[in-house]
């Protein structure tokens, strides 16, 4: 992966930030990420804590215990009655309704109260957090074309986002703009790929999905942002896939929610 730019002087307090997104009630994937993550100072969660997977309460409890800053995702809204389900496919809608019935009152209320993005990162005025896009919390930023408008209009140079389940991101530097994706060497081991941030560019960076990757790699995805070195470390880690699948089957959720995990789609 080639380095792209960022202003090192913008971040003042060295901190190692663990970035989690789109866990989707996959407890096994979350546990593997936490077990394999390097040391960190705080945890940021970019939303879609629940939905699809069969461990909504366990994942919500873990997230509440370790997280410091959160932004809500569309599945968090759907599972707590915060949005209509017409825009969801039947499989996603069924999972949202199942999750709503499974959540404890405490977790239901906590998820319902998660903040709407963009959310500032405390003590880091040049970093913001969103689920979808800085312009619309439910918008998918998949292509460079999708990313250009927020990259051009943003005054904040670094935005962490989720929603697409695609690890990587986009940058704009002067008259040039491009996308980037980490390139891994294996398909079943724990790996990390660094992205060095340099000066005078704006970024949209996606740590990938913990619980349901859609980039063809079944391993759980997360990232670590080192504010001192100005490096985003993208990570992939294997997890107990069969256990996560068995939970979905046992819950009588749509079988496709289990089988798709093995393909990373």
SS3 helix, strand, coil % of the chain, rounded to 5?
30, 25, 45
Q: Tokens 């980039």 belong to which residue?
A: 215
Structure tokens at 212: 């349901």
The dihedral over CA atoms of 253, 62, 20, 7, expressed in degrees to the nearest 10, equals 160
Which tens digit of pLDDT belongs to each residue from 218-228? 999 999 999 98
Nearest to 168 by CA among 131, 193, 200: 193
Query: pTM for the whole thing?
Result: 0.92
In the chain, what are the domain boundaries? Answer: 4-263
- Relative to beta strand 220-226, strand 16-20 is antiparallel
Nearest to 181 by CA among 219, 131, 222, 215: 215
Q: Are 37 and 43 in contact (CB under 8 A)?
A: no
Which H/E stretch holds residue 5?
strand 4-5
User: What would the CATH number be for the domain defined by 4-263?
Assistant: 3.60.21.10
Tens-binned pLDDT, residue by residue, of the chain (265 aa)? 433 443 434 445 668 999 999 999 999 999 999 999 999 999 999 999 999 999 999 999 999 999 889 999 999 999 999 888 988 999 999 999 999 999 999 999 999 999 999 999 988 888 999 999 999 999 999 999 999 999 988 889 999 999 999 999 999 988 889 999 999 999 889 999 999 987 788 999 999 999 999 999 999 999 999 998 889 999 999 999 999 999 999 999 999 999 999 999 8
């Amino acid at each position: 992966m080639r380095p792209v730019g960022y202003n090192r002087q913008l971040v003042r307090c060295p901190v190692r930030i663990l970035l989690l997104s789109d866990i989707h009630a996959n407890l096994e994937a979350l546990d593997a990420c936490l077990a394999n993550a390097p040391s960190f100072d705080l945890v940021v969660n970019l939303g879609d804590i629940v939905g699809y997977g069969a461990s909504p309460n366990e994942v919500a409890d873990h997230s509440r215990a370790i997280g410091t800053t959160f932004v809500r995702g569309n599945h968090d809204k759907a599972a707590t009655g915060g949005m209509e389900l017409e825009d969801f496919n039947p499989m996603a809608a069924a999972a949202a309704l199942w999750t709503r019935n499974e959540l404890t009152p405490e977790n239901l209320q906590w998820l319902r109260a998660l903040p709407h993005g963009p959310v500032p990162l405390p003590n880091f005025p040049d970093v913001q957090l969103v689920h979808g896009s800085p312009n619309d919390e439910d918008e998918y930023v998949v292509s460079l074309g999708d990313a250009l408008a927020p990259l051009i209009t943003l005054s904040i140079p670094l935005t962490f986002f989720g929603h697409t389940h695609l690890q990587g991101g986009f940058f704009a530097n002067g008259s040039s703009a491009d996308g980037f994706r980490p390139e891994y060497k294996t398909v079943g081991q724990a790996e990390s790929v660094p992205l060095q941030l340099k000066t005078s560019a704006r970024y949209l960076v996606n740590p990938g999905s913990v619980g349901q990757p859609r980039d063809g790699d079944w391993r759980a995805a997360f990232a670590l942002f080192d504010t001192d070195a100005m490096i985003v470390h993208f990570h992939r880690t294997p997890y107990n896939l069969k256990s996560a699948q068995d939970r979905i089957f046992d819950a009588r959720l749509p079988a496709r929610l289990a089988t798709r995990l093995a393909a990373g789609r």
